[in-house]
């Protein structure tokens, strides 16, 4: 059986722990490969390689580092089809979504090509007599990234492309559910000209995560995954003296105002709620309609749209979405649907028990739609991460806007309206990190920054964009004095504003 190994010191290295995780094909439910799960010692070996590579890489001039990024971008583009097929076969998302996943990664690599410009620092000439002050952004050292299953191309690139362009060396610990694309990324990065040890990958579960969080030579950790683990990673990593950013789960709301373009809103939300089987942290699983008429019309149209979705295998080019990632996840999504029924929400469309002829053991869940969902219901308060849309009815914009603001998660939110003033006010006031105005999935472009609020992110620096550069660098400020002539016993004067 195919085995996914680690990548340490510029080459694939077979695991030695004797422990393996199964990699499934979600279309069929079959085990298609296995992945080695690292021990603490294997993580330590990766750190040693990254440490050895650090001085050379940190002292490589920024433009040369950027050239590796340019070549990596070219290789990703050249290998797009292969990467997308591999990604779909382990994750289950349809090929078009897998290509989007890779493309979003490429976007961040493209951003990383320009990082020399953001690492320049600042300069003040003549802050005092003969005194100049300048700052520089230096790499942190050996750093690490721990990533989830749902964007196995994009999220590793969020982290390692930015960190490495800044001069750090890196340990990637991808999800054990779909590690083959991350491994290909790491191989392609080496092929692009990265010296050995600059980017290493260890596969694993909690043992490898704990080894990363407690290793004294790892200076920073970026994490993306579910909120409880994110909080654990944040508290453990910071307790061990590391800089940590840890992105967590989400429950994004879309507010539907009576004056919106309803046809467009339904079209947008059907993609945002059900696309990629709802397994996106920027999916839109809650629609809040304002006013009875808006609610009735939205539910009627959405039912039609959801019924029209084709659920298929990930290679089916006509399918809107494929299976969810695992049998356990399918069971979890179906349990939440039952919970919604038990809590008294009105199940208009039930996706449970969805089977596909010839793929009876695949992890398919049909589109589900709940109406009259209420705050306080557990199925509303928690993240389902499946193809389930919950409609909450509100009487006013104020009531609707309070829902995402009061929710435990604060990743993304969207408002659908033609009233610019209402949208502007909403965007300014809502207690959520990323806002869409007539945009259902407001994922910021790579040169802006990605990150939620509340239990959607622990730590205070976001992914990519200038914030990403700040996370992966530390600032040093130099005050220098080169006075004219002999300074004799003149004392050093701290420059002041006078």
Residues forming the active site: 281
Smallest separation (angstroms) from ligand NAD to the CB of 252: 10
Among 26, 452, 465, 468, indicate the residue that binds ligand NAD (CB under 6 A): 452
CB-hemisphere CA count at 13 Å for 78?
11
Of 362-391, which residues contact ligand NAD (CB under 6 A)? Answer: 383, 385
CB-hemisphere CA count at 13 Å for 261?
7
Which of 199, 84, 71 is CA-nearest to residue 152? 84
Is residue 331 within the footprint of ligand NAD (CB under 6 A)?
no
Query: What is the rounded distance in angstroms from the CA atom of residue 199 to the CA atom of residue 9?
Result: 8
Write out the E strands in 382-437. 388-394, 409-410, 412-416, 434-437
Q: How many residues bind ligand NAD (CB under 6 A)?
A: 26
Query: Could you give the string, one character per residue 406-425, with x where binding to ligand NAD holds by CB under 6 A and - elsewhere?
Result: -----x--------------
Is residue 336 within the footprint of ligand NAD (CB under 6 A)?
no
Query: What is the rounded distance in angstroms from the CA atom of residue 22 to the CA atom of residue 176?
Result: 8
Question: Among all residues, whose Cβ is closest to ligand NAD?
Answer: 225
Nearer to ligand NAD, 362 or 452 (CB): 452
Nearer to ligand NAD, 160 or 385 (CB): 385
Among 84, 146, 192, 394, indicate the residue that binds ligand NAD (CB under 6 A): 146
Query: What is the rounded distance in angstroms from the CA atom of residue 362 to the CA atom of residue 346?
Result: 27
Nearer to ligand NAD, 148 or 295 (CB): 148
Sign of CA dihedral 442, 413, 383, 275: negative
Q: Which stretch binds ligand NAD (CB under 6 A): 43-51, 140-148, 417-425, 480-488?
A: 140-148
Which of 433, 469, 474 is CA-nearest to residue 159? 469
Burial level of 460, CB count in 10 A (0-12/13-18/19+)? exposed
Q: Residue length, the chain?
A: 498
Is residue 157 within the footprint of ligand NAD (CB under 6 A)?
no
Are the beta carbons of 252 and 282 closer than 8 angstroms?
yes
Q: Which stretch binds ligand NAD (CB under 6 A): 12-20, 38-46, 145-153, 298-306?
A: 145-153
Is residue 281 within the footprint of ligand NAD (CB under 6 A)?
yes
Among 147, 222, 314, 461, indicate the residue that binds ligand NAD (CB under 6 A): 147
Q: How far is CA 175 from the centre of its chain?
A: 12
Which of 188, 161, 217 is CA-nearest to residue 79? 188
Among 102, 112, 143, 250, indicate the residue that binds ligand NAD (CB under 6 A): 250
User: Cα torsion for 291, 293, 295, 297, to the nearest 10°?
Assistant: -160
Nearer to ligand NAD, 54 or 106 (CB): 106
Among 15, 237, 248, 386, indicate the residue that binds ligand NAD (CB under 6 A): 248
Of 12-51, which residues contact ligand NAD (CB under 6 A)? Answer: none
Is residue 299 within the footprint of ligand NAD (CB under 6 A)?
no
Query: What is the rounded distance in angstroms from the CA atom of residue 400 to the CA atom of residue 360?
Result: 41
Smallest separation (angstroms) from ligand NAD to the CB of 108: 13
Of 190-219, which residues contact ligand NAD (CB under 6 A)? Answer: 205-206, 209
The contact set with ligand NAD (CB under 6 A) reads: 146-151, 173, 175-176, 205-206, 209, 224-226, 229, 247-250, 281, 383, 385, 411, 452, 456
């Amino acid at each position: 059986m195919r085995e996914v190994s680690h990548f340490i010191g510029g080459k694939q290295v077979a695991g030695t722990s004797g422990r393996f995780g199964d990699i499934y094909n979600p279309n069929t439910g079959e085990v298609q490969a296995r992945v080695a799960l690292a021990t603490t010692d294997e993580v330590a070996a990766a750190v040693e390689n990254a440490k050895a590579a650090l001085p050379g890489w940190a002292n490589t001039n920024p433009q040369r580092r950027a050239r590796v990024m340019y070549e990596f971008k070219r290789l990703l583009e050249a290998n797009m089809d292969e990467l997308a097929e591999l990604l779909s076969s382990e994750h289950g998302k349809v090929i078009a979504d897998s290509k989007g996943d890779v493309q979003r990664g490429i976007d961040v690599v493209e951003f990383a090509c320009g990082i020399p410009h953001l690492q320049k620092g600042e300069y003040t000439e003549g802050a005092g007599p003969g005194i100049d002050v300048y700052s520089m952004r230096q790499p942190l050292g050996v750093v690490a990234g721990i990533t989830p299953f749902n964007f196995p191309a994009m999220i590793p690139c969020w982290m390692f492309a930015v960190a490495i362009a800044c001069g750090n060396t890196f340990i990637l610990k991808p999800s054990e559910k779909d590690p083959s694309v991350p491994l290909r990324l790491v191989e392609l990065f080496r092929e692009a000209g990265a010296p050995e040890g600059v980017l290493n990958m260890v596969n694993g579960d909690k043992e490898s995560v704990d080894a990363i969080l407690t290793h004294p030579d790892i200076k920073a950790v970026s994490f993306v995954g579910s909120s409880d683990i994110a909080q654990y990673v944040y508290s453990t990593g910071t307790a061990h003296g590391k800089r940590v950013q840890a992105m967590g789960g989400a429950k994004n709301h879309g507010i539907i105002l009576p004056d919106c373009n309803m046809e467009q809103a339904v079209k947008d939300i059907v993609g945002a709620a059900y696309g990629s089987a709802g397994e996106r942290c920027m999916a839109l699983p809650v629609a809040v309609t304002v006013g009875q008429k808006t609610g009735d019309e939205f539910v009627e149209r959405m039912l039609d749209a959801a019924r029209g979705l084709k659920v298929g295998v990930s290679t089916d080019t006509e399918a809107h979405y494929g299976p969810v990632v695992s049998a356990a996840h399918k069971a979890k999504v179906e349990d939440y649907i039952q919970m919604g029924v038990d809590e008294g929400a009105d199940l208009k469309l039930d996706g449970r028990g969805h089977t596909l002829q010839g793929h009876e053991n695949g992890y398919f869940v049909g589109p589900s739609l709940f109406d009259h969902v209420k705050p306080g219901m557990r199925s509303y308060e928690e993240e389902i991460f499946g193809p389930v849309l919950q409609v909450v009815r509100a009487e006013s914009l104020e009531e609707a806007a309070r829902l995402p603001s009061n929710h435990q998660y604060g990743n993304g939110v969207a408002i659908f309206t033609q009233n610019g003033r209402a949208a502007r006010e909403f965007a300014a006031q809502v207690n959520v990190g990323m806002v869409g105005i007539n945009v259902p999935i407001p994922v910021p472009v790579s040169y802006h920054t990605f990150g939620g609020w509340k239990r959607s992110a622990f730590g205070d620096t976001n992914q990519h964009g200038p914030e990403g550069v700040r996370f992966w660098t530390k600032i040093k400020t130099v005050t220098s004095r080169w006075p004219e002539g002999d300074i004799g016993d003149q004392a050093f004067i701290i420059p002041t504003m006078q």
